[in-house]
């Protein structure tokens, strides 16, 4: 047998994730052990080959006299490269190859072909193509002994030594402190879970996003995502089991929404299959080039559950211990790391998830991180998850927090989501001193979230202007402006002063009183002074402005309901955040319609302040952000949002958010 080589064979990646943690490796080995047990029942065995394919396969082909090789197509770019190299080697050796697409519902090339040779990049577009293609192929029949007749692969007495499933110890893991598995790998477990999953008729009948409860935050006996990721459960089997159950209950063919979880998975696989840089920002044609900060210390605190926000830290602790977290918990920690609080690249968060999550499909993981960071697929950057309010809504009594952060278990429910606000006596009674036994919050969310919304606003303003993202035009607020939000040092590595925050909150409450409001009618009179204050109107003089500049320098201005052209000041205590106002000319004004959600912020350049320009912008805002689902004509890519959940200021794109 002649020797063959594969160009770059030593660098061929076996799988997406080369940094599996022990929890993931345990799950994988359990999958292999379960498969071996199933094959034994059919008088066969599983052969686990050690080594790089480029080295191991030629030796096996020679030893076994191989004439035919079959395998499942890998839909991800690195896997495609590996498979093409193996196929080239087989061709050189005269070995026939059969590959089948079965990890996804459809053959992805078919979807791309139907879209003119390019992957669909909106979920609505993807759904349209799927609807035209029709249902996916049905799953193959279960393997039986008759299918293996004629198989003569020798099983030697030393099979377990040469080809057996390795142990965690063999792979170099220490298992002394390993906790019992929450998720048990294997097809047998996957099928049992599928049966329990289908028994939840109420879930099937609702076909909506399930409400998050403290119980839903925990690993469920009906959860299936790790089994889909590792191939223990056929996506097509899951698909058609859902179809049959729906037809039995509803007496009709199911809508596409029934398969939402599977179709979102398919959507991201399709978007990634021919994009080797799908997991990166640079070189990724569908990713907005956002100049994120680099902060290794802040990243480490987030990854290790040491942010000082109990809701965030409990989620990251569960992820590290169990390898799984609820999809809305993923939304919370992803937003916190990226556009919500820390302004760190989604790439860093994706790497952590890739290492820790049992169900971290490469394509889905990267796609969801781009989505949640508003780097691609989704642009609703003004909706931000609050690490306190969101946690309190999902876990009102703090049971989830107490489970994963036992150091906080003795805190009263009143303080469980904000333990730093507990009086010292309460902290001592709880046997947990904040700042000593549990970290103080690493950022002031109310400050950094507003700054980051402004950053995202600038990014997308430039993007819309130039119609093509590049790092040279996507300007942001200077990084130095964040120093006041990151506590008492310049390296962002200490927590903010709790007492100062309480004082600031009281000061903000005082500013809400009418006697402290400055109301201007600037757009009607055109009489402005520096920093947005009027030169004369409502009794505010030039001297008033100069005397109160330091106090109001970080204010924004919002329209008073029912009074076009009228604005009032909202005071925000944001230290070192003055660049926006210091650089403004006399006729510039930043106005935001809402104090907590600066929606449709309009920066009017000098010379453009007039009633016609204002009315045009106001009409556009009303179309976009009014309570009705009326959107402007033309390019709707940035505006197709709708009010949802009954919360003012909460919008989403018309396409459903992925689960």
SS3 77: helix
Q: How much is the pLDDT for 20?
A: 67
| Arithmetic mean of pLDDT, 160-189 | 92
- Kindly report the average pLDDT of the chain as a whole number: 73
Q: How much is the pLDDT for 261?
A: 84
Domains of the chain and CATH, by start: 9-163 (3.40.50.620), 187-272 (no CATH), 296-486 (1.10.579.10), 511-625 (no CATH)
| Arithmetic mean of pLDDT, 172-187 | 91
Q: How much is the pLDDT for 570?
A: 33
184 φ, ψ (degrees, to nearest 5): -100, 125
Q: How much is the pLDDT for 510?
A: 54
pLDDT digits (tens, 9 = 90+) for 388-418: 999 999 999 999 999 999 999 999 999 999 9
Higher pLDDT, 579 or 461: 461
pLDDT digits (tens, 9 = 90+) for 56-76: 999 999 988 999 999 999 999
Helices assigned H by DSSP within 417-575 = 424-429, 445-466, 498-511, 522-525, 542-552
SS3 520: strand
| Arithmetic mean of pLDDT, 384-389 | 93
Instruction: Express as a percent the part of the chain with pLDDT over 90.
Output: 47
Residue reference for tokens 């393997």: 143
pTM comes to 0.70
265: β partners: none
Structure tokens at 341: 């609080």
Separation between Cα atoms, residue 413 and residue 211, nearest integer Å = 22
SS3 642: strand
Higher pLDDT, 146 or 333: 333
User: What is the radius of gyration, based on Cα positions, of the chain?
Assistant: 29
Q: Which helix (H) or strand (E) holds 97?
A: strand 96-100
Q: How much is the pLDDT for 511?
A: 52
CA-CA distances (angstroms) from residue 216 to 251, 256, 407, 457? Answer: 29, 24, 22, 34
| Arithmetic mean of pLDDT, 65-89 | 91
Which segments of 158-297 are extended strands (E)? none
pLDDT digits (tens, 9 = 90+) for 277-318: 999 999 999 999 999 999 999 999 999 999 999 999 999 999
| Arithmetic mean of pLDDT, 608-632 | 36
Closest among 273, 257, 235, 236 to 127, alpha carbons compared: 257
Residues making up the binding site for FAD: 261-268, 359-361
Q: How much is the pLDDT for 505?
A: 52
Q: How much is the pLDDT for 74?
A: 92
Q: How much is the pLDDT for 271?
A: 94
pLDDT digits (tens, 9 = 90+) for 512-527: 443 333 333 222 222 2
Sign of CA dihedral 209, 210, 213, 217: negative
Average the pLDDT over each of 92-101, 262-271, 433-442, 584-593 and give the range with the smallest value. Answer: 584-593
pLDDT digits (tens, 9 = 90+) for 535-573: 333 343 444 434 443 333 333 333 333 333 333 333 322
Separation between Cα atoms, residue 340 and residue 164, nearest integer Å = 47
pLDDT band at 275 (very low <50, low <70, confident <90, very high): very high
Average the pLDDT over each of 193-202, 227-236, 304-313, 636-645 and give the range with the smallest value. Answer: 636-645
Closest among 444, 471, 267, 512 to 370, alpha carbons compared: 267
Q: How much is the pLDDT for 226?
A: 95
Residues making up the binding site: 261-268, 359-361
pLDDT digits (tens, 9 = 90+) for 484-494: 343 322 333 33
Separation between Cα atoms, residue 37 and residue 33, nearest integer Å = 6
Closest among 343, 583, 372, 344 to 447, alpha carbons compared: 343
Q: How much is the pLDDT for 635?
A: 32
480: exposed, middle or buried (C-beta count within 10 Å: 0-12, 13-18, 19+)?
A: exposed
Closest among 579, 328, 358, 627 to 454, alpha carbons compared: 579
The 8 Å CB, 24+ separation contacts for 560-569 are 560/519, 564/523, 564/615, 564/618, 565/521, 565/522, 565/523, 565/524, 565/611, 565/614, 566/519, 566/520, 566/521, 567/519, 567/520, 567/522, 567/591, 568/517, 568/518, 568/519, 568/520, 569/511, 569/517, 569/518
Strands 96-100 and 68-72: parallel
Q: How much is the pLDDT for 204?
A: 55
Strands 641-643 and 96-100: unpaired
Instruction: Give the CA angle between residues 527, 531, 533 to the nearest 5°.
Output: 40
pLDDT digits (tens, 9 = 90+) for 12-48: 344 444 456 889 999 999 999 999 999 999 888 999 9
Secondary structure of the chain: what % helix, strand, coil (to 5)? 45, 5, 50
Q: How much is the pLDDT for 255?
A: 65
Other beta carbons within 10 Å of 190? 25
pLDDT digits (tens, 9 = 90+) for 109-141: 999 999 999 999 999 899 999 999 999 999 998
pLDDT band at 380 (very low <50, low <70, confident <90, very high): confident
């Amino acid at each position: 047998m002649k020797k063959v080589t594969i160009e770059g064979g030593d660098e061929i990646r076996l799988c997406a994730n080369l940094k599996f943690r022990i929890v993931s490796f345990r799950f994988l080995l359990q999958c292999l052990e379960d498969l071996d047990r199933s094959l034994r029942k059919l008088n066969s065995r599983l052969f686990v080959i050690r080594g790089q394919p480029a080295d191991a396969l030629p030796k096996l082909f020679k030893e076994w006299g191989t004439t035919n090789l079959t395998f499942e197509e890998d839909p991800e770019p690195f896997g495609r490269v590996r498979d093409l190299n193996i196929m080239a080697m087989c061709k050189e050796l005269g070995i026939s190859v059969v590959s089948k697409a079965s990890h996804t519902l459809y053959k992805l090339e078919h979807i791309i072909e139907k879209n003119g040779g390019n992957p669909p990049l909106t979920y609505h577009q993807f759904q349209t193509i799927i609807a035209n293609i029709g249902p996916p192929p049905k799953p193959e029949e279960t393997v039986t002994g008759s299918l293996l007749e004629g198989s003569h692969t020798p099983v030697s007495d030393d099979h377990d030594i040469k080809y057996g499933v390795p142990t965690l110890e063999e792979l170099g893991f220490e298992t002394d402190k390993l906790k019992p598995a929450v998720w048990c790998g294997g097809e047998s477990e996957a099928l049992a879970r599928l049966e329990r999953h289908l028994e939840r008729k109420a879930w099937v009948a609702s076909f909506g996003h399930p409400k998050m409860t403290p119980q839903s935050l925990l690993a469920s006996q009906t959860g299936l995502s790790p089994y889909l990721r590792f191939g223990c459960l056929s996506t097509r089997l899951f698909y058609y089991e859902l179809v049959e159950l729906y037809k039995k209950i509803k007496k009709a063919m199911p809508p596409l929404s029934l398969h939402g979880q599977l179709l979102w998975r398919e959507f991201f696989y399709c978007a990634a299959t021919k994009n080797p840089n799908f997991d990166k920002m640079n070189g990724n044609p569908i990713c907005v080039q956002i100049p994120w900060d680099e902060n290794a210390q802040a990243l480490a605190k987030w990854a290790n559950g040491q942010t000082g926000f109990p809701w965030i830290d409990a989620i990251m602790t569960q992820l590290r211990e169990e390898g799984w977290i609820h999809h809305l918990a993923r939304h919370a920690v992803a937003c916190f790391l990226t556009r919500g609080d820390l302004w760190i690249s989604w790439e860093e968060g994706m790497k952590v998830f890739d290492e820790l999550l049992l169900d971290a499909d490469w394509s889905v993981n990267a796609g969801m991180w781009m989505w949640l960071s508003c780097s691609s697929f989704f642009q609703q950057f003004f909706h931000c998850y609050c690490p306190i309010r969101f946690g309190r809504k999902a876990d009102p009594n703090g049971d989830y927090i107490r489970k994963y952060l036992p150091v906080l278990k003795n805190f009263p429910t009143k303080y469980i989501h904000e333990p730093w606000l507990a009086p010292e006596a309460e902290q001592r009674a709880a046997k947990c001193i904040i700042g000593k036994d549990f970290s103080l919050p690493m950022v002031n969310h109310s400050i950094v979230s507003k700054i980051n919304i402004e950053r995202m606003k600038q990014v997308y303003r430039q993007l819309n202007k130039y119609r093509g993202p590049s790092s040279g035009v996507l300007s942001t607020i200077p990084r130095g402006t964040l120093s006041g939000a990151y506590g008492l040092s310049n390296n962002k590595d200490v927590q903010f002063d709790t007492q100062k925050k309480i004082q600031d909150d009281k000061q903000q409450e005082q500013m809400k009183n009418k006697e402290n409001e400055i109301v201007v009618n600037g757009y009607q009179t055109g009489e402005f002074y520096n920093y947005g204050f009027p030169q004369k109107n409502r009794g505010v003089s030039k001297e008033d402005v100069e005397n109160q500049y330091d106090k109001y320098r970080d204010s924004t201005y919002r329209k008073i309901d029912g009074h076009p052209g009228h604005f009032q000041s909202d005071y925000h205590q944001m230290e070192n955040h003055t660049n926006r106002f210091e650089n403004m000319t006399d006729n510039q004004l930043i106005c935001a319609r809402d104090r907590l959600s600066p929606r449709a912020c309009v920066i009017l350049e000098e010379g453009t302040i007039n009633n016609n320009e204002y009315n045009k912008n106001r009409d556009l805002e009303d179309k976009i952000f009014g309570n009705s689902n009326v959107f402007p004509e033309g390019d709707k890519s940035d505006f197709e949002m709708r009010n949802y959940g009954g919360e003012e200021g909460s919008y989403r794109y018309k396409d459903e958010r992925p689960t």
